[in-house]
Amino acid sequence: MTELAYVNGVFSPIAEAKVSIEDRGFQFGDGIYEVIAAYGGRPFLLDRHMLRLRRSAAAIRLNYDFDGQPLEPIIAEGLRRSLPSDDALVYVQLTRGACPRSHTIPEGLTPTVVMTFKPIPRIPEKLRQRGAKVITTRDPRWANCSIKAITLLPNVLARNEALRRGYDDAIFVTETDEVRECTSANLFIVEGAVLNTPPRTDSVLHGVTQGFLMECATAIGLTVQEQAFHVEMMQRAEEVFMSSTTVEVLGITSIDDRPIATGRVGPTTQRLHSEFQTRSRAALVGRVKL
């Protein structure tokens, strides 16, 4: 099982991959990214991830020729070289490119393309069974969180502060306690047969896994809605869970040291995770590897 990197046309072991010290991704966090799961060597929801990457590029005016220099064949080749039959995590990053450090963006820059191919990190079964214990924290991020930008310092600090204090993650909330999302995952609450997630405005990431999970929920008879809610409503919910490419579906059983309902992962959360796994793998059955 080989971990692999790709930088601007060259595949190499990760330790040997190099980018310029003057790359704007390093100097300014001037770039965007996607994280894609591949099950059995087949990328899952690749079209949706690539569409979001295009939207992020357009939002920051990063001029990459997605049609003339498509990324999909590179992803396919990376999977063939590294983890041809295993579950893998593909990280794709585009930066504006390298140039002398300046806030002004010069014309004609060639974007830097970086990818890594690694095994999917597995959520410990103990954590999945007991559910995550999280805290809320004030959201200090910029107003364009729908752009999947590599500038993630507030997320990193919030996550590590939660871990330092003995929790599994943090949930960003506004000054008025309106709930946004976790540090690297979207958020849902369950009330009866209704699944609610914060509105997919510019204030949150429009999750690819989140969107697929909403489809799964509808298919099993749940009502899905995007509606703002506050911390108090979340703490009173029957169930709370997060979703992302890496965690898929993970129950949250405690928020700010207050148990959610019984303090156990709820039946709807468990059913949705099972449904997600079934439908995600079924969607790839019979598909030829890229």
CB atoms within 10 A of CB 283: 14
Pick the catalytic residue: 18, 118, 133, 148? 148
Q: Mark out the alpha helices in 189-260 (DSSP H runs).
A: 208-219, 231-236
Vertex 138 angle, CA 196 and 92, to 5°: 70
Query: Is residue 288's pLDDT more than 70?
Result: no
- State the angle between helix axes of 46-59 and 208-219 in degrees (0 to 180), rounded to the nearest 10: 140
Mean predicted confidence (pLDDT) in 156-179: 98
Q: 189 and 198 in contact (C-beta within 8 Å)?
A: no
Q: Is 18 a catalytic residue?
A: no
> Could you tell me the CA-to-CA distances from 250 to 83, 96, 104, 123, 132 in Å, in that order?
25, 34, 42, 9, 7
104: exposed, middle or buried (C-beta count within 10 Å: 0-12, 13-18, 19+)? exposed
Residues in the chain: 290
Query: Is residue 182's pLDDT more than 70?
Result: yes
Separation of alpha carbons 173 and 289, rounded Å: 41
pLDDT at 286: 52
pLDDT at 245: 97
pLDDT at 90: 97
Give residue-wise pLDDT tens across range 50-108. Answer: 999 999 999 999 999 999 999 999 999 999 999 777 899 999 999 999 999 999 999 99
pLDDT at 1: 57
Taking all residues of the chain, what is their mean pLDDT, rounded to a whole number?
95
pLDDT at 285: 61
Mean predicted confidence (pLDDT) in 205-216: 97
Mean predicted confidence (pLDDT) in 154-178: 98
Name all domains of the chain by residue range, CATH numbers in brackets. 4-119 (3.30.470.10), 125-280 (3.20.10.10)
pTM: 0.95
